[in-house]
Chains A and B, each alone.
Chain A
Amino acid sequence: MLRNWIKFLPFINKREWDIIHAEFLGIGYSYLGIKHLLNIKYFVSSRGSEINTIEINPQKHQLVKTLQDCDGIHVVSEKMLDKIIKLGIPEDKILVNRPAINFSQYKNLSKQETNIPLILSVGRLVWIKGLDYLLESFRLLKDKKISFRAVIIGDGPLFSELQYSISDLQLDEEVQLIGNIPPHKVSNWLQKASIFVLSSHEEGISNAALEAMGAGVAVVSTACGGMDEVIQHRKNGLLVPIRNPVVLSNELGSLLLDPIRRKQLGKEARITIENKFDLSRQTQMFEAFYRNEL
């Protein structure tokens, strides 16, 4: 109780807020009291993890209450919109605003692929990213004697487990976990990468995948969450079913052997990002939404 009050203090001091926007659903619940306290417009963003696994979440009713009580909800994909409507939330207070990246940062990146094609994956090392399945598909690639290198960027609770899996699958030579690195170094890896792979079981829309597409890398992604709203299969990337290492490795394999197709997919991906997922579009949509609510 006391902790709650201390948490709210910075907001009470300055009464000039028009809108308070909680960027995640979980944090949205813990600050929900402030809406009633100040009688203020209160928005939440639903970006992923909480809503993705809401069916098995023991705090489900608290999250639903947050969605019901707030004045506006921002979701990152159509898929998530459907999910929230199914929870009984009226559609008119929900804004679908897909994530975006600053395309100008990626516009001028030129590709410098390595001799042995490099597969890149970026994300936190947590179960929902499906990295065990990714490693399994790498193993299948190796069994087919397709040469490749893979780098997984990111850190998380499964680091030592994945390291164990890599040596258990005898992939020490091919696959590297390199932990967290600063953003500009990620761009360097994107330049070198031939393929970007997203093996998640569930996502909102992966920013890492958008960045890879912006850099002109061919993306192979599971058809999780809102990814099918970004990627059209075989046009600007490849979609594979979730939890299926066999199909994933087949698609990776065919792409590894076909540099021309990779280039084509990368080019199309870049066009998609420039037209639909640039930051300017996202900002405009937010502005319009806020003004409308006030």
Chain B
Amino acid sequence: MSCKIKIGIVVQQFPVSSETFILTKVLGLIEQGFDVRIFATYKSKNWEKFGLSLNQICELKKRLIISPLAYKNNLVIFCLVATRLVLWNFFRYPYFFVKLFYQEKVFYKANQTSFISYFLYKLNFIGHKLDILHIEFDFQAYGLLNLKKILGCRLVLSGRGDITRTSVPYLYKDFYPAVFGAVDYYHFISYYLRDEALKKGLNQGKPWKLVEPAIDLNLFNPKVRPLHRTPITLISVGRLSWAKGYEFMIDAVALVARKYPDVQYLVVGDGEYSEAIQFAAYQHGLLQRGCVQFLGLISRGKIPDYLQLADIMIHGALEEGFCNAVIEAQAMELPVVCSDAGGLPENIANSVTGFVVQRRDAQAMANKIIYLIENEEERILMGKAGRIRALQRFDLIKQKQAFTEMYLEVSQLNQ
């Protein structure tokens, strides 16, 4: 039955290492028999690091539709691709083509955005006869809202992070009423994000479902960590961006290092904020002493090995949707000290699988780290509790079922 439902997934780039949840979700949906199309603005070059089988890659590439904007750097190819797209759609789907053209003119007049790029981008969606259009990041939805009318499909949005963190809502006056008015079904990854959306004017009665992120637990098999291990190793995994609050984490580690000078801190990931973070480590003297090590990007398959090396995961985000890295840490029996940003208090169980501290408070985080360093028994117990929590709550198999249910529910909604 479900095999008839055709779902279009909209993302910026595909696949991205910091957004593997999209990848796993898509693979799961294909497995369940949904007809999935992925609409991406850009395509990633390296697919090897995601640990996909050849079959999976073929399957994904077949379903991947790249926008002509991806070729913007090469004018010749861009023109060729764009012309082909325009001609093809004009003769094949003249009705949709004209409809889109008219709608785009209205949108352009209201917002003064680039007409050509929006028009070309949206042309891609024509002719796929989608039942459901799912925009994976709600802040990207504004420009695509008129597609719902043109295609006559249902619109699903995912709330994966606080919208206000991006500059988009500040750009358009009617952002929230327009987005919240057009959406048919909302998927949230944490209760926190729904509360925030309600505060911004989302209708209480709007159908929604909580589907928490999940991980493939088969990939995370913790081994027993040796007792009385010194020095203690802290670890953080994530994109080196402002939102992850690394500067405050470095401050916290510096406070810990005053008491335990040999503490080790591994930073896994790369990103636009890396200079700021490295400089913070340098100014605290941690970089020179080798206390902090920046490991850069590490392929997904090797992450469990690094988590196995560590004793405590720290995550001091300023803004966070949910954070898969924290789930992975729990699955690897690591206690987690994290901030109270976004969905993190729902991710770990405070005082059971780790500690939640106030965001931006380096001293509070340092205190909890020191507590865990000094209480080995509790550290190990919290780690074990984390594994149990991950097994019970963040299993990929359960998530796949939840998404199937969600899409079936969406397809039964009245238009």
Contact = CB atoms under 8 A, between A and B. Distances in A.
Interface of A: 53, 55-56, 127-128, 132, 136, 158-161, 163-165, 167-169, 201-202, 242-243
B367 interface: no
A167 B169 CA distance: 14
Interface stretch (B48-56, B68-76, B159-167, B306-314): B159-167
Nearest to A164: B165
B251 A127 contact: no
Contacts of A163: 167, 170
A201 B283 contact: yes
Interface residues of B, number: 23
Given A132-B247, A136-B360, A56 B278 contact: yes
Nearest to B167: A160
B31 interface: no
A160 B164 CA distance: 8
Interface string B242-257: 1100010001000000
Interface string B278-290: 1110111001000
B166 to A, nearest CB: 6
Contacts of A132: 247, 318, 360
B78 interface: no
A167 B242 CA distance: 16
Given A136-B360, A161-B242, A164-B319, A56 B282 contact: yes
A169 B361 CA distance: 12
The SS class assigned to the A binding surface is helix
Tell which of A132, A202, A242 has the most Cβ of chain B within 10 Å. A132
B276 A160 contact: no
A160 B283 contact: no
B275 A127 contact: yes
Interface of B: 162, 164-167, 170, 242-243, 247, 251, 273, 275-276, 278-280, 282-284, 287, 318-319, 360
A127 B319 contact: no
A158 B272 CA distance: 11
B170 A56 contact: no
Contacts of A127: 242, 247, 273, 275-276, 279
Contacts of A136: 360
A132 B278 CA distance: 16
Nearest to B250: A243
Contacts of B164: 164, 167
18 contacts: A55-B287, A56-B279, A56-B282, A127-B275, A127-B279, A158-B242, A160-B166, A160-B167, A160-B170, A161-B243, A164-B164, A167-B164, A201-B280, A201-B283, A202-B279, A242-B283, A243-B251, A243-B280
A205 B103 CA distance: 54
A164 B275 contact: no
Contact of A161 (B165, B282, B284): B165
Nearest to B166: A160
Contacts of B319: 164, 168
A30 B273 CA distance: 25
Given A56-B287, A201-B279, A243-B283, A160 B273 contact: no
List the 6 closest A-B pairs by CB distance, nearest first: A127-B276, A160-B167, A56-B278, A164-B165, A161-B242, A53-B279
Nearest to B284: A243
Nearest to B165: A164
A164 B162 contact: yes
Given A56-B282, A243-B247, 6 more contacts: A127-B242, A158-B242, A159-B167, A164-B319, A201-B279, A243-B280
A128 to B, nearest CB: 7
B117 to A, nearest CB: 22
Given A132-B247, A242-B283, A243-B251, A53 B165 contact: no
A178 B167 CA distance: 15
A161 B284 CA distance: 24
A132 B243 CA distance: 11
A167 B319 CA distance: 12
Nearest to A160: B167
Given A56-B279, A202-B279, A168 B167 contact: no
Contacts of B280: 201, 243
Contacts of B284: 243
